[in-house]
Chain A
């Protein structure tokens, strides 16, 4: 739309009027996108806006109903992923497509074996090329390192190398920073900038506004399958982008107000717990959460946060230590006992724990209270009461659904999470435990859930918030505990905490422990 520079370079990639319909919904409605050589082009939109569909069209996974794709000005028909790769289009998926037990080189060579003589792989040549490619883009990588032993940030570099090895000219990155620490994000950005400088075109899919502003040369915003605007980072800001993306004004930062902490509600001391494979994942945690305050737990995913929360909530038996609730020892009590003690829990995995997706919305709303009055008298369920309260919850928590009888699996992620929030928040609470409460949600839903949490805090509930989104922890918390390798390595004030400082603690566990405490919980990083 706006061509500021006025250059006449043919775009490396152009998608014209792409329309893709699925039964009952238009996923892409005449979307046009143009990416120049050497450009980092951000594709911004909420979940379900149509970003993934558009990229599937580009990758040959979905056939557009209308529209055409041009590479270097030439119309092409992309038959499938292998065709896309052959044409120099490569995708780095949000969930890496790597084999952890294989080496970096083997992963890169998978499906693209350079044959020395039609039977054997030419490993020497391949190794050489991989090291060369890495150096060109600013990192040294050991081709023999096992991918499973690399940190997430390095695994991502392997994915990018894989694409470069296949001579990718157009690189699509789907939410590449979702799993990275701030430092790792910076490092990846540096790599992307060098790629662009060498003439590669990059499509950067994200819903994180500040990142898009930082990395992109141009930003295309889509909403409900349509392009709603295009911006240059210099002439826009987060509020403007959020409004475009959501279609209304959004309050991005939570107005958390002031907290008035009261008596300690949750007291954890010396807590240890094992993960599902029997490794010690929580290695002696001490923590106190007072009434009316939010304590955030920051940490790279997989440092024992999930196990820590499950040990508090009764889903996992601690191997040592105690958990006390308002002075009562509840160590090792059942989930129901904990629930009855006015504790609510929003689990990290809403499909595995939070919902029964084949059950109706109404049944999911009573999943933790189905046996109590008014939803049951004795063993008899009261369908009227369940329906009545479901309708009321749908209205008050703004759950967008045709009715309370549809199955929970048909709702969008945001509405599924609102269902869980409605169920868990809708009573007097002493303690509220949130594990990744907004993961994968759109800006509007995040805003809604954050407000509900603040309201609970102001009503005197103690809140424990675990999140891999550092920004969420920083915005919401009164105090922040940094979890690393199964321990809380630092507790900092939530209002004065510095993002980089916390990020560094997340990545290293603090300088004095760096390197020594690296247990099974964190992969060892291969440093250049």
Chain B
């Protein structure tokens, strides 16, 4: 029964045209987004019923969504704000997506994000008085290295002992939170300050290059996306990463060293997540408080999944999520819908994406015989593998 049911078609099959290729890449994400928006609308309508005395209005979802949209794209300031929110998501999405390519589920982007920001603030504070052209690259590099170390640890553990990266990176997320709190309220704290906060990074702060608060990180994120794409598809290193991700046995047979590649991938992935933290710290906050830290690291997983790990598609996926964050405030003001609806939307997108094999069958895009996309394979394997190995 080893032969497939279908006789292999010997006559040449026509390669798919551009239109069908675009459709096969974008159909699932688009449907997922539309479905999530519908679910969000239903939640808005239902939540109205829960508020006693609230005038029932079926058009409220429309009001909310249009406020969300204009908050994200309504004017130049809104657009810049979307870009600023999207920047760390691009870095984070690249980090998680790069891991997926090597068959690794780096769920620790959040921890690497925090440690990266910590590295950037430590270097930035030390370099605050140094001329910007020196201070900025060095502080950025420090953020990359710090995140990289946080990624190296689980990569190394996996290579030498087989410790599953999902478990070790989750653990390291907690370590990162506590490390940050300890440092910010201890050695890094401004003396005699009433609250735990570090000094300003001064000259190491990213310059504003766009509008009111569009900082240098936006450009760096774009460059990073192109660089990661180039690395994956144009270099022998990227070939090795993808080979190990697709078939570690064949990679070993081909003379590659999967363990080394696992370590290198996790380190680089951690570095990218570190840059996400760096971009927030040097570009937006300039100081660090003990409550520093958003959900960027976790949102990045959704971004990478939505983009199916393609570095260039990660940019629009990050813009979508960043735009929702940017517009949430206006939505709350105009429609009295709490900003948390955005989290609901993002979570719904994630849920639909996990179910995407079903969607793909319904939409008839992409044949299963081509093998699942890397992110699908990783997610599908998580159920058993995360616990078993």
Contacts and interface: CB of A to CB of B under 8 A. Distances in A.
Interface in A307-339: 315, 334-336, 339
B15 A406 contact: yes
Nearest to B364: A23
A379 B249 contact: no
A56 B250 CA distance: 32
B250 A400 contact: no
B227 interface: no
A196 interface: no
Interface stretch (B39-47, B239-247, B316-324, B349-357): B239-247
A335 to B, nearest CB: 5
B2 to A, nearest CB: 6
B3 to A, nearest CB: 5
B75 interface: no
B1 A379 contact: no
B9 interface: yes
Counting chain B residues whose Cβ lies within 8 A of the other chain, the interface size class is 35 or more
A381 B243 CA distance: 14
Contacts of A234: none
Interface residues of A, number: 58
B236 A371 contact: yes
B8 interface: yes
A93 B6 CA distance: 18
B253 A335 contact: yes
A386 to B, nearest CB: 10
B250 A367 contact: yes
Interface string A17-30: 00000101101000
B371 A24 contact: no
* Residues of B contacting A: mostly: loop
B7 A25 contact: yes
Nearest to A405: B15
A327 to B, nearest CB: 23
B1 A94 contact: yes
A336 B237 CA distance: 16
B369 A410 contact: yes
A371 B255 CA distance: 10
Contacts of B235: 379-381
Nearest to B235: A379
A381 B234 contact: yes
B254 interface: yes
Interface in A8-67: 22, 24-25, 27, 47-53, 56, 62
Contact of B239 (A25, A95, A381): A381
Interface stretch (A74-82, A261-269, A353-361): A353-361
Contacts of B250: 352-356, 367
A402 B14 CA distance: 7
Contact of A379 (B3, B237, B257, B367): B237
Contact of A22 (B1, B6, B15, B237): B6
A335 B254 contact: yes
Interface in A402-429: 402-403, 405-407, 409-413, 415
Interface string A350-375: 00111111110001000110110000
B229 to A, nearest CB: 13
A413 B253 CA distance: 19
A94 B1 CA distance: 6
Nearest to A440: B2
Given A52-B5, A412-B8, A358 B246 contact: yes
A62 B254 contact: no
A383 B235 CA distance: 10
Contacts of B249: 352-353
B369 A409 contact: yes
A481 B7 CA distance: 36
A370 B249 CA distance: 17
Contacts of A412: 8, 10
B246 A48 contact: no
A95 B2 contact: yes
9 contacts: A24-B9, A52-B3, A53-B5, A174-B1, A352-B247, A356-B243, A357-B371, A368-B253, A412-B10
Given A52-B3, A410-B367, 20 more contacts: A24-B9, A24-B13, A25-B7, A27-B7, A48-B7, A94-B1, A353-B253, A354-B253, A356-B246, A359-B242, A367-B254, A370-B236, A371-B236, A379-B236, A379-B237, A380-B234, A381-B234, A381-B239, A406-B15, A440-B3
